[in-house]
Amino acid sequence: MIKTNDLILRTTTTLIAFILFGFSVYLFFAGHNKPGGGFIGGLMTSAAIVLMYMAYGMESVAKIIPINFRVVIPIGLLIAVGTGVGSFIFGQPFLSQTFAYFQLPILGKTELATALLFDLGVYLTVIGVTMTIILTIAQDRKDETA
Amino acid sequence: MEQLYNVTQSMISAIAMLCIIIISISVIMLMYRAIVGPTNPDRAVALDSIGINLMALAGLMAILLVTTQLNDVVLLIGILLFIGTIAIAKFLEKGVIIERDID
């Protein structure tokens, strides 16, 4: 059998993976006023990582991204709970949020909301759950003679 | 001028509705091909085309609702569709989607 050649896939992956990461960051910051937010941003990031896994195989990408995705889940959940509990410090009810406008150097006048921190927790949790599920399914053939 | 504006507006919404109906028929026929389809490549092509039709539906809804918020959705469906099609193609050709090591 002729060995399959996926040169086109690998070459485009090096370009498209970065576009996907950029788009996921855009979706993450577009949240809570427009379509977007932590959940879909996390899905987009994990889609980019899955694309890299599909193009370059398990071992190479595990060397490039040395993150145990099971650790990312509790970190994200802790950030999400922490933004809820943090409102107690200011004497507010659980999960209350606020926003303000800041003058940032490059971006100009920007709206920064505490909901963004909650979104960060959701983002990390979604990445961890999705990558754990996909990689666990992919490693399922370990004991067989693949 | 006012009359021309009204005629154009009703024309655009009528044509968008017509396109939505036609694309819905197309999606139903592609669903038949994706479920029944004799071989797996037929199903792969049918799923890809269903995704393209979904992008068209999102664009037509953006025209009907007169909003720009749905443009991100079109892009998002396109990217997820691209990755899904690559996964199906790789599964059909190699039988495994994420390889253990590439030699």
Cβ count within 10 A of residue B22: 12
ipTM: 0.80
Domain limits for position A131: 7-138
Scanning B51-90 for CB atoms below 8 A from A yields: 69-70, 72-73, 75-76, 79-80, 82-83, 86-87, 90
Write down the pTM of the prediction.
0.83
Domain assignment present for residue A104? The answer is: yes
Q: Do B76 and A40 touch (CB under 8 A)?
A: yes
Mean pLDDT across B59-84: 90
CA–CA dist A90, A138 (Å, integer):
46
Asked if the C-beta of B102 comes within 8 angstroms of chain A's C-beta atoms, the answer is yes
Lowest-confidence segment of A48-57, B6-15, B72-81, B89-98 by average pLDDT = B89-98
| Contact indicator for A132, A50 with CB cutoff of 8 Å | no
Domain assignment present for residue A145? The answer is: no
CA–CA dist B40, B46 (Å, integer):
10
Which residue is closest to A34 within chain B, CA to CA?
B69
User: What confidence tier does B13 reach under pLDDT thresholds 50, 70, 90?
Assistant: very high
| Contact indicator for A8, A88 with CB cutoff of 8 Å | no
What residues of chain A lie within 8 A of the CB of B90, using their CB?
6, 9, 54
Lowest-confidence segment of A3-17, A45-59, B59-73 by average pLDDT = A3-17
Domain assignment present for residue A144? The answer is: no
> Nearest CA to CA, how far is B98 from chain A (Å)?
5
Q: Do B100 and A146 touch (CB under 8 A)?
A: yes
**Over 90: is that where the pLDDT of A75 sits?**
yes
Domain assignment present for residue A54? The answer is: yes
Residue in this structure with the two tokens 């926003």, named with its chain if needed: A99
- 10 Å CB burial of residue B67 (0-12, 13-18, 19+) is exposed
The partner residue sitting opposite A54, judged by closest CB among B79, B97, B101, is B97
What residues of chain A lie within 8 A of the CB of B75, using their CB?
23
Domain assignment present for residue A41? The answer is: yes
Which candidate, A58, A74, A70, places its Cα nearest to that of A131?
A70
Domain assignment present for residue A40? The answer is: yes
**Hey, what amino acid is at B15?**
I
> Nearest CA to CA, how far is A27 from chain B (Å)?
8
**Hey, what amino acid is at A16?**
I
The partner residue sitting opposite B86, judged by closest CB among A54, A57, A135, is A54
Lowest-confidence segment of A70-74, A100-104, B10-14 by average pLDDT = A100-104
CA–CA dist A101, A109 (Å, integer):
6
Domain assignment present for residue A143? The answer is: no
Count of domains for chain A: 1
Domain assignment present for residue A1? The answer is: no
Q: Do A35 and B79 touch (CB under 8 A)?
A: no
Q: Which residues, 6 or more positions from B36, have their beta carbon under 8 angstroms from its beta carbon?
A: none
**Hey, what amino acid is at B38?**
P
Give the bridge partners for A104, in sequence order. Answer: A108
Which residue is closest to A134 within chain B, CA to CA?
B98
What residues of chain B lie within 8 A of the CB of A57, using their CB?
98-102
- Per-residue pLDDT, A142: 54
- Centroid of chain to Cα B24: 11
Helix, strand, coil share (%) of chain B residues, nearest 5:
85, 0, 15
Q: Which residues, 6 or more positions from A67, have their beta carbon under 8 angstroms from its beta carbon?
A: none
Mean pLDDT across B18-39: 93
**Over 80: is that where the pLDDT of B33 sits?**
yes
CA–CA dist B95, B87 (Å, integer):
10
